Amino acid sequence: MFVSDTSPQALGGARACRPLDPRAGEKARGDVPRQVAANEDPQEEAEQQRSQKTVAELCAAYIENHAKRSAPIGKLTTPGLRRRILPRLKARAVCSIVAADIESIHSQVGTQTPYAANHILEVVRNMFNWGKVAGLVPRDLLNPTVGIKWFPERRRRRYITTVEMPEFIRSLEAEDNEYARHGLWLLLLTGLRSIELLKAKWDGHRLGCGNALCGTHQER
């Protein structure tokens, strides 16, 4: 069998012919036939590629392709990953992460902010589960949050003291999540309850009068 050659080397525009390489189809199919003949699993290479992903790559893909599409989740997820997980684990391979690595971060954060520590644990758990579905985490890899005990969470009511307020303001201004930062400032300046602020709409704000209608008949 022959195929035509329309290269400039063909004199006078005449088409030269060259034999068709019988191995072209095999080359196009890649190494799959060779792997099958050698009793190898073609999916094994894909699994190896997944295991070579770094935590930084997994975090970036999770934030871009999952967290940002769920607005409330993305606003809370991104700061925790960037501030707590990436500084310590970003260069590590995903397949090398074990419960001890996450437990260390969870315990360190939990000494001062147990609620934030539990939130980080939930984010990491969701990220690794999503990574398996997205093909970025090996399917047989145990989720590194399995077995880690959460800090107890109790409902409580406590007020910031005048001594604590300056430090609270400094921490608030250093917060990466602009939605949380602006929301807390609105709560401080208006005296609204959190549920009232969440239900507020722009058509209920009267900026010229300095008041707002937030889901009730009472103006603030």
Q: pLDDT digit string (tens) for 170-205?
A: 988 988 888 888 888 988 888 777 777 777 777 766
Query: What average pLDDT does the segment 95-108 reach?
Result: 95
Between the CA atoms of 179, 185, 189 and 195, what dihedral angle is there, to the nearest 10 degrees?
50
Q: Tokens 């967290």 appear where? A: 67
Give the pLDDT confidence score for residue 211 in this predicted structure.
61
Identify whether residues 119 and 173 lie together within a single domain. no
In a domain? residue 38: no
**Residue 220 pLDDT:** 43
Quote the pLDDT of residue 48: 61
Phi and psi angles of residue 170, each rounded to the nearest 5 degrees, phi first: -65, -40
113 and 69 within one domain: yes
In a domain, 6, yes or no: no
Does one domain contain both 179 and 108? no
Same domain for 63 and 106, yes or no, is yes
Residue 128 and residue 200 in one domain: no
- At residue 40 the predicted structure's pLDDT band, cuts being 50, 70 and 90, is low
Amino acid making up residue 1: M
pLDDT score at 217: 47
Least reliable range by pLDDT among 17-31, 136-150, 175-189: 17-31
Angle between helices 114-134 and 99-110 (to 10 degrees): 150
Helical ranges in 63-192 per DSSP H: 71-80, 86-89, 99-110, 114-134, 165-173, 178-190
pLDDT given for residue 55 in this prediction = 95
Q: So what's the pLDDT on residue 70?
A: 65
> How far apart (Å, rounded) are the C-alpha atoms in residues 89 and 104?
11
Residues of the domain holding 206 = 165-212
Q: Contact at 8 Å (CB) between 219 and 212?
A: yes
Domain termination site, one of 84, 111, 134:
134
Same domain, 124 and 178: no
In a domain, residue 26? The reply is no
Residue 11, pLDDT > 50, answer no
* 216 has a pLDDT exceeding 60: no
Instruction: Report the domain count for the chain.
Output: 2
What CA–CA distance (Å, rounded) separates 40 from 55?
28
Does residue 177 form part of some domain?
A: yes
**According to the model, what pLDDT value does residue 183 have?**
86
Please say which residue of 134, 152, 179 terminates a domain: 134
178 and 130, same domain (yes or no): no
> What band does 72 get if pLDDT is binned at 50, 70 and 90?
low
Report, in angstroms and rounded to the nearest whole number, the Rg of the chain calculated over CA atoms: 29
Q: Does 42 have pLDDT greater than 70?
A: no
Residue 41 tokens read as: 């699993």
Residues 56, 129, single domain; the answer is: yes
* Same domain flag for 115 and 175: no
Residue 174 domain flag: yes
Residues 162-176, mean pLDDT to the nearest whole number? 89
Per the prediction, the chain carries an average pLDDT of: 77
4 falls within a domain: no
> pLDDT > 90: what percent of the chain?
35
What's the confidence (pLDDT) of residue 2? 45
Q: 65-74 burial, b for 16+ CB within 10 Å, e for fewer?
A: ebbeeeeeeb
pLDDT band with cut points at 50, 70 and 90 for residue 102:
very high
Is 192 inside any structural domain? Answer: yes
Shared-domain flag, residues 77 and 126: yes
Q: What is the CATH number of the domain that holds 73?
A: 1.10.150.130
Boundary (domain end) residue, out of 134, 153, 181? 134
For residues 61 and 117, membership in a common domain is answered with yes
pLDDT tier for residue 58 given thresholds of 50, 70 and 90? very high
**Do 70 and 124 fall within a single domain?**
yes
Torsion sign across C-alpha atoms 152, 156, 160, 163: negative
Tell me which of 49 and 77 has the higher pLDDT: 77
214 close to 200: Cβ distance less than 8 angstroms: yes
**Residue at 31 is within a domain:** no
